[in-house]
């Protein structure tokens, strides 16, 4: 089996796939691709992006020009959540959702929720505190992003008071995006009230061997 993955390690969406592959123990080839980040950092600071995403060859497999995209023996898939779901369903349904449709639906719900409620404010927070040059940073956007993140984490913390993991008492594919977001949240050290259940959860998922795939702070704090 040959797996090729287009993306960049500093992309949370790419990290979802990296973490899923690590959980499954699958080997892959990572092809660096991005329209906004490169080896030196963000394009807003004058750095060159990894590119590839705007080429005709890449658009032929992903018409959106986004990352990540995966090719598994000729089967091409884009959208990080879809990739993670496919990997789990294909290679270890028992581990990823206990081969149970209800658990799969619950885990998928939290994956979609993360996509809707955590990605945008966290992305804005990182851009306006780390990635953009100081002159382009907007403190109002930082404040709005922080408030949105606190509101979202309250919901997560409440859920984690009832289940040890986000969708169940056992680890599921729903924990893949939540692990990445929790890791980034604590690395960013955002001023916020304590979330004891989230802290307990973070320690638990960070102890999984697969966490090494996304542990490096540079993957989350790259500017």
- Residue 66's alpha-carbon distances to 39, 48, 104, 120, in angstroms, are 18, 17, 26, 16
**Residues 134-160 pLDDT 10s:** 999 999 999 999 999 999 999 999 999
Per the structure, the complete domain to which residue 31 belongs is given by 3-91
- Same domain membership, residue 190 and residue 150: yes
Backbone angles phi, psi at 58, to 5 degrees: -75, -40
Count the domains in the chain: 2
pLDDT in tens, 194-215: 999 999 999 999 999 999 999 9
In a domain, 218, yes or no: no
Do 107 and 49 belong together in one domain? no
pLDDT at 175: 98
Q: What CATH number did the domain enclosing 70 receive?
A: 3.40.30.10
- What's the confidence (pLDDT) of residue 44? 87
d(CA 204, CA 128): 30
Same domain, 68 and 117: no
Give yes or no: residues 159 and 187 share one domain: yes
Q: Are residues 8 and 60 in the same domain?
A: yes
């Amino acid at each position: 089996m040959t797996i090729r993955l287009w993306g960049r390690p500093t992309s949370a969406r790419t990290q979802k796939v990296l973490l899923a592959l690590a959980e499954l123990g699958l080997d892959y080839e990572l092809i660096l691709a991005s329209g906004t980040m490169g080896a030196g950092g963000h394009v807003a600071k004058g750095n060159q992006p990894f590119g590839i995403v705007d080429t005709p060859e890449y658009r032929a497999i992903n018409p959106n020009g986004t990352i990540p995209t995966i090719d598994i023996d000729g089967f091409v898939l884009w959208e990080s959540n879809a990739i993670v779901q496919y990997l789990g369903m294909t290679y270890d349904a028992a581990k990823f959702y206990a081969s149970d449709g209800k658990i799969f639906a619950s885990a998928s719900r939290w994956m979609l929720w993360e996509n809707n409620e955590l990605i945008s404010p966290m992305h804005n927070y990182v851009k306006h505190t780390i990635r953009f040059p100081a002159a382009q940073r907007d403190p109002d956007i930082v404040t709005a992003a922080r408030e949105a993140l606190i509101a979202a984490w309250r919901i997560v913390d409440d859920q984690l008071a009832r289940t040890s993991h986000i969708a169940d008492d056992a680890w599921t594919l729903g924990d893949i995006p939540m692990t990445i977001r929790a890791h980034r949240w604590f690395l960013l050290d955002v001023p916020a009230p304590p979330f004891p259940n989230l802290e307990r959860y973070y320690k638990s998922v960070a102890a999984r061997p697969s966490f090494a795939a996304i542990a490096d702070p540079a993957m989350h704090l790259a500017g």
